Amino acid sequence: DTGVSQNPRHKITKRGQNVTFRCDPISEHNRLYWYRQTLGQGPEFLTYFQNEAQLEKSRLLSDRFSAERPKGSFSTLEIQRTEQGDSAMYLCASSPQAETQYFGPGTRLLVL
Amino acid sequence: AQRVTQPEKLLSVFKGAPVELKCNYSYSGSPELFWYVQYSRQRLQLLLRHISRESIKGFTADLNKGETSFHLKKPFAQEEDSAMYYCALIQGAQKLVFGQGTRLTINP
């Protein structure tokens, strides 16, 4: 499968713990995006990378959230001191320049 | 603020009947609009984008700037069209702004 991959697919954690998700984009896609989707809603933009540079962050991305794309390939999204409100599906997408975004399967996070 | 509204959370039609999923948007400038679809247990995928003016799986969507709408239509629904549909616009050539989605069910 040469599409966008995300790991883990599911994560259950206790409130206050830190979690990290990984996204591997389609090779040679220089743009990478993170979105969050809660039940009954469409995906909401979190942040965007062009190569290794993080060019935009949503106000949804509180200081407990951090994202990196160290070598312009895979990306990680870390949530520190998780809260129950962080429970959601976290989606990653990639695109070659400003074109169609291809989505991964998502990581479903449940914070107990 | 840029916004996409899909007024129907649920839509149910019979196989062979016409389908129309509504989408309205607010955007200053020339919008670029998309329809994404998510079939059961599959990832979100692009169905069509207005600039390509294609018909995918029998679906079409016309951008109406006067009514700020981008409704998705298909003349004859098929059972395999049952899915979650999201209308979206792209802001700043970067992030997608999605509507809440419409769950379409095609009854046999």
**DSSP of B48-77, one letter per residue?**
EEGGGT--BTTBEE--BTTTTB--EEESS-
Residue A108 CA to residue B62 CA, distance in Å, equals 34
Residue with tokens 């079939």: B39
Residue among B24, B34, B95 with most chain A CBs within 10 A, to mutate: B95
Taking CB atoms and an 8 Å limit, are B4 and A42 in contact across chains?
Answer: yes
Beta carbons within 8 Å of B96's beta carbon, 6+ residues apart: A33, A35, A43, A45, A93, A101, B34, B88, B89, B90
Query: What is the pLDDT at residue B27?
Result: 85
Query: What is the pLDDT at residue B93?
Result: 62
Query: What does the block give as tokens for B53?
Result: 């003016």
Residue B74 CA to residue B106 CA, distance in Å, equals 12
pLDDT over threshold 70, residue A1: no
Residue A52 CA to residue B45 CA, distance in Å, equals 25
Closest CB to A45 among B46, B93, B95: B95
Closest CB to A45 among B43, B49, B96: B96
**Per-residue pLDDT tens digits for A64-88:** 999 999 988 999 999 999 999 999 9
Query: What is the pLDDT at residue A38?
Result: 95
Query: What is the pLDDT at residue B13?
Result: 97
pLDDT tier for residue A62 given thresholds of 50, 70 and 90: confident
Phi-psi group of A73: left, alpha or beta (phi > 0 → left; psi -120 to 50 → alpha; rest → beta): alpha
pLDDT over threshold 80, residue B53: no
Residues of A in contact with B88 (CB under 8 A): 42
Taking CB atoms and an 8 Å limit, are A103 and B43 in contact across chains?
Answer: yes
Highest mean pLDDT among A75-84, A94-103, B51-60: A75-84
CB atoms within 10 A of CB B55: 12
Closest CB to A48 among B43, B95, B98: B95
Residues of B in contact with A42 (CB under 8 A): 4, 86, 88, 98-101
Query: What is the pLDDT at residue B99?
Result: 97
**Which residue, among B27, B38, B31, B48, has the nearest Cα to B104 in the 3D structure?**
B38
Taking CB atoms and an 8 Å limit, are B100 and A41 in contact across chains?
Answer: yes
Taking CB atoms and an 8 Å limit, are A91 and B44 in contact across chains?
Answer: yes
Residues of B in contact with A43 (CB under 8 A): 44, 86, 96, 98
Query: What does the block give as tokens for B73?
Result: 């239509």
A60 interface with B at CB cutoff 8 Å: no
Q: Which of A25-29, A52-56, A94-98, B19-23 has the lowest mean pLDDT?
A: A94-98
Residue A59 CA to residue A54 CA, distance in Å, equals 14
Query: What does the block give as tokens for A88?
Result: 């959601």
Taking CB atoms and an 8 Å limit, are B96 and A91 in contact across chains?
Answer: no
Query: What does the block give as tokens for A51?
Result: 């190569």
Query: What does the block give as tokens for B48?
Result: 């069509």
